[in-house]
Amino acid sequence: MSQRRKFIKQSLMGSAFLIPGLEAVSRPIPSKETFSKPLILSTWNHGLSANEAAIHTLKSGGSILDAVEVGVKDTELDMDNLSVGLQGLPDREGITTLDASIMTGDGSCGSVAFVRQIKHPISLARAVMEKTPHVMLAGEGARQFAIAEGFPLEKEELSPKAAEAYNEWKKTSQYKPIINIENHDTIGMIGMDAEGNLAGSCTTSGLAYKMHGRVGDSPIIGAGLYVDNEVGAATATGLGESIIRICGAFLIVELMRQGRSPREACQEAVRRLISKNKNIKDIQAGFLAMNKEGEVGAFAVHPGFNYAQATLQKNVLIDSKSHF
Ligand code: ASP
């Protein structure tokens, strides 16, 4: 048995059917693998450290909303990460712009898009959720709101790693955003507390060398993130345009509502995404989901997607299955 998983396994149950004239036959019902609560999932290997921060927050008495905010703040500060936070790769003008969203299982949500100079866009998204009558603020308006809320404005300069990559890109780019399966890596986190309350967060610097003003799936509720206490939660990573086209995270939650397991729902979302997007060889997208019972699932278009899964006992990186 994989040592990375602690699970409470429902035993393989047999159900008896008595048909006149025949003996009772036993049909196995497929087993369900469920994990203990609290449970935190995050996209990619930077999720390991983010999960630690989230679990620590829960252990210190924080709510599941606090946990998913604090968890991804860890990634927003990671100077080695070129896909999240102000150290992320810039757009084609050389400007880093950030997208983020946050949601709880009762339908509360907030997001920010196309924001500059804010170190923790996830906290700004939470402030939009908690302090405004709106769900989403973008660009200069989001920045004005941040200033009013006392968020410090950071100096606008590329990190050394991002500057080096940008200068390299400029040599051959012909000013085109790169669409390939490797140049993005958002953190999406979904979690459930010991009582079964769900929350999620998603934060990114988006597609590298995108057009100025481009917004991906991550701040769009229902595309990069969706959470419903009645069903479960889902988050997405990968080429935002392909995920927006199918309302990825919302689709997965609705498929789970209809009885699909998280893994089946993620796989169906990938199938749908492939059917609605051209040039699929250049498009990577990965989905991650959990349901109320503590079942977990993931699926990606291409190999390479992984996610971190944490309970109170273990925090492990798991490779997702993929279509190709
Ligand atoms: N989904 C993000 C975006 O398109 C990037 C990523 O997850 O890789 O902005």
In tens, the pLDDT along 249-283 reads 999 999 999 999 999 999 999 999 999 999 898 89
Active-site residue, selected from the candidate residues 34, 97, 186, 237 = 186
Contact yes or no for 245/273 (Cβ under 8 A): yes
What pLDDT score does 150 carry?
A: 98
Cα separations (Å) of 41 from 46, 148, 201? 11, 33, 11
Q: How many whole angstroms from 218 Cα to the centroid of ligand 1?
A: 7
Q: Which atom of ligand 1 is nearest to the CA of 206?
A: 9
Q: Does the structural domain 2-319 have CATH classification 1.10.3720.10?
A: no
Beta bridge partners of 138: 113
The residue-averaged pLDDT of 138-148 equals: 98
What pLDDT score does 181 carry?
A: 54
**Is the pLDDT confidence value at 303 over 80?**
yes
| Two tokens, residue 216 | 């991906």
Compute CA 104 distance to the chain's CA centroid, rounded to the nearest angstrom.
14
Of 20-34, 170-184, 299-313, the one with minimum mean pLDDT is 20-34
What pLDDT score does 106 carry?
A: 98
In a mutational test of the pocket of ligand 1, which residue from 46, 215, 217 has the highest number of ligand atoms less than 8 Å from its CB? 217
**Is the pLDDT confidence value at 24 over 70?**
no
Rounded CA-CA distance 209/170 in Å is: 9
**Is the pLDDT confidence value at 227 over 50?**
yes
What pLDDT score does 32 carry?
A: 83
**Is the pLDDT confidence value at 21 over 90?**
no
Q: How many whole angstroms from 157 Cα to the centroid of ligand 1?
A: 21
**Is the pLDDT confidence value at 52 over 50?**
yes
Instruction: State the DSSP string of 238-296.
Output: E-HHHHHTTTHHHHHHHHHHTT--HHHHHHHHHHHHHHH-S-GGG--EEEEEEETTS-E
Q: Which residue has the higher pLDDT, 182 or 103?
A: 103
Q: Which residue has the higher pLDDT, 30 or 13?
A: 30
SS3 113: strand
Choose among 99, 168, 158: nearest CA to 128.
99
| Helix, strand, coil shares, percent, the chain, to 5 | 30, 25, 45
pLDDT grade, residue 5 (50/70/90)?
Answer: very low
Give me the residue spans of the domains in the chain. 2-319
What pLDDT score does 174 carry?
A: 73
What pLDDT score does 172 carry?
A: 85
Binding-site residues, ligand 1, Cβ < 6 A: 184-186, 204, 206-207, 216-218, 237-240
The H or E element containing residue 144 is: helix 139-148
**Is the pLDDT confidence value at 15 over 50?**
no
